[in-house]
Amino acid sequence: MTDSCIDLLLHAHATDFADASLWILDEGSAASVAALAHSANYFLTNRWDIFSNLTKVCKTQPKKQVILNDMDLSVFSTSAINSLWFRISKEKPVTNHIINQALSFLPPRGKLHLAGEKNEGIKSYFTNGKKGFGEGHIEKHGKDYLATLVKTHPNNSVHLDTKDYAQLRSIGDIHSVSQHEKTYSLVSKPGIFGWQKLDRGSEFLALALQEWLTNNANSDLSNTRILDLGCGYGYLSVIAADLGFGEIHATDNNFTAIQALQETATANALPITGWVDDCGLYNTQDKKGYDWLVCNPPFHQGFDTHTDLTEKFIHAIAQHLRPSGQAFVVVNQFIGLETRAQRYSTKPFKTVEVIKRDKSFKVVRLVG
């Protein structure tokens, strides 16, 4: 299902088309890749699935440029681009980061086109952005808004709050679950879901892992391969290292998350290998399979309502597990992951069981 705000931008772009336009694509753009690929020559995203699919579609068109990074516009030539198109992010620091960059990046009379819903703050972004750009207009289209900022009288002293977007930083320490006096530093930044907090679901999963290992007498994990699927800044990867897993891999669809994961691993001298990928399915980084897998799926992206996303994670888990390998997945109580996993027939699971639950979460164990 495509995003109505992306559709609104595409319609506006069709009437204001120029080769010199750059699309900036966040997570909400994945379903619109085919249409987007034919709309412009320049694309920037921080999501592997969007980057990979756009690259495939555009590979026969050498003029097109697709870049994967942490939303950094400086990799593009300012002389080649005069308009930017962006469906505002769920995260305020990300959108403010784009607006700030656009003000310095665009040439005189250059335009930044934004789309979003009222409850996402689109009117505030427009009002604050106009103070820096000079001119602009905003239109209501049902529940969505289309805003255009025009760089006519730029005021470079206007700087919207990005929470120091570009900088990785420590967000605190966590205590070892196996060694009472040991602590680990966690590194994160804006642009990662839940970037400045410990996710309650991940903490619940960490506790379930510790209990499972204690109750099932798995004492030596030094030769055990584990994958942290959808790792974020790496909390569960750190827990895996603390519990004694010898070979830890981690992957996330978000380029920014892997930056933080790698810094977290370095800060704590932990043997964690991370890479950007969509559920770890399309990169050739590792095809050996895993003995263990941990996952806190992105239900905030619609995991509870989008069957395709649910099926994608179940498929990924099944593909990554070695024979008799086991996955531990934490989800909200209302998500029927175990029911869908039991129906999965491509590579059926031998065991599907809920091993821990509370009022908010449950941990599902899947055995390949």
Q: Is the pLDDT of residue 302 over 70?
A: no
Q: Is the pLDDT of residue 183 over 90?
A: yes
* Residue that is last in its domain, among 100, 116, 151: 151
pTM of the model: 0.93
240 burial type by CB count under 10 A (0-12 exposed, 13-18 middle, 19+ buried): buried
Per DSSP (E only), the strands in the chain are 21-25, 42-45, 65-68, 83-87, 111-117, 134-141, 144-151, 169-175, 183-188, 225-229, 247-252, 272-276, 290-295, 321-332, 351-357, 361-367
Question: Is residue 145 located within the same domain as residue 176?
Answer: no
Question: Is residue 351 located within the same domain as residue 273?
Answer: yes
Question: In whole angstroms, what is the distance from residue 123 CA to residue 137 CA?
Answer: 10
Question: Is residue 265 located within the same domain as residue 333?
Answer: yes
157, part of any domain: no
- Winning range, highest mean pLDDT, from 166-180, 195-209, 216-230, 294-308: 195-209
**What's the pLDDT at 114?**
99
261, part of any domain: yes
- At residue 255, the 3 state secondary structure works out as helix
Q: Is the pLDDT of residue 304 over 50?
A: no
* Residue that is last in its domain, among 98, 121, 151: 151
Per-residue pLDDT band at 116 (split at 50, 70, 90): very high
Q: 128 near 151, Cβ under 8 Å? A: no
Per-residue pLDDT band at 282 (split at 50, 70, 90): confident
Q: Which amino acid is at 311?
A: E
- Mean pLDDT throughout 149-153? 97
Overall number of domains in the chain: 2
**What's the pLDDT at 208?**
97
**What's the pLDDT at 18?**
64
Question: Is residue 43 located within the same domain as residue 86?
Answer: yes
Pairing of strands 183-188, 169-175: antiparallel
* Residue that is last in its domain, among 123, 151, 179: 151
Question: Is residue 179 located within the same domain as residue 146?
Answer: no
Domain span at 56: 4-151
Question: In whole angstroms, what is the distance from residue 63 CA to residue 302 CA?
Answer: 35
Q: Which amino acid is at 94?
A: V
117, part of any domain: yes
Question: Is residue 187 located within the same domain as residue 331?
Answer: yes
* Residue 16: how many other CB atoms lie within 10 Å: 13
Question: Is residue 183 located within the same domain as residue 216?
Answer: yes
Beta bridge partners of 147: 114, 138
325, part of any domain: yes
Domain with residue 345: its CATH number is 3.40.50.150
Q: Is the pLDDT of residue 136 over 70?
A: yes
DSSP string, 237-304: HHHHHHHT-SEEEEEESBHHHHHHHHHHHHHTT--EEEEE-STT-S--S--S-EEEEEE---GGGTTT
Q: Which tens digits make up the pLDDT trace of 31-69?
A: 898 889 988 899 999 999 999 999 999 988 888 999 999
Per-residue pLDDT band at 303 (split at 50, 70, 90): very low
- The larger pLDDT score, comparing residue 61 to residue 353, is at 353
> What mean pLDDT, rounded, does the chain reach?
92
- The larger pLDDT score, comparing residue 243 to residue 308, is at 243
Per-residue pLDDT band at 306 (split at 50, 70, 90): low
Q: Which tens digits make up the pLDDT trace of 195-246?
A: 999 999 999 999 999 999 999 866 789 999 999 999 999 999 999 999 999 9
Question: Is residue 195 located within the same domain as residue 146?
Answer: no
**What's the pLDDT at 228?**
98
Question: In whole angstroms, what is the distance from residue 357 CA to residue 56 CA?
Answer: 42
271, part of any domain: yes
158, part of any domain: no
Per-residue pLDDT band at 312 (split at 50, 70, 90): confident
Question: Is residue 346 located within the same domain as residue 263?
Answer: yes
Per-residue pLDDT band at 285 (split at 50, 70, 90): low
Question: Is residue 197 located within the same domain as residue 145?
Answer: no
**What's the pLDDT at 305?**
47
Q: 151 near 104, Cβ under 8 Å? A: no
Question: Is residue 198 located within the same domain as residue 146?
Answer: no
Q: Which tens digits make up the pLDDT trace of 62-100?
A: 889 999 999 999 999 888 899 999 999 999 999 999 999
Q: 147 near 136, Cβ under 8 Å? A: yes
209, part of any domain: yes
309, part of any domain: yes
Question: Is residue 214 located within the same domain as residue 256?
Answer: yes
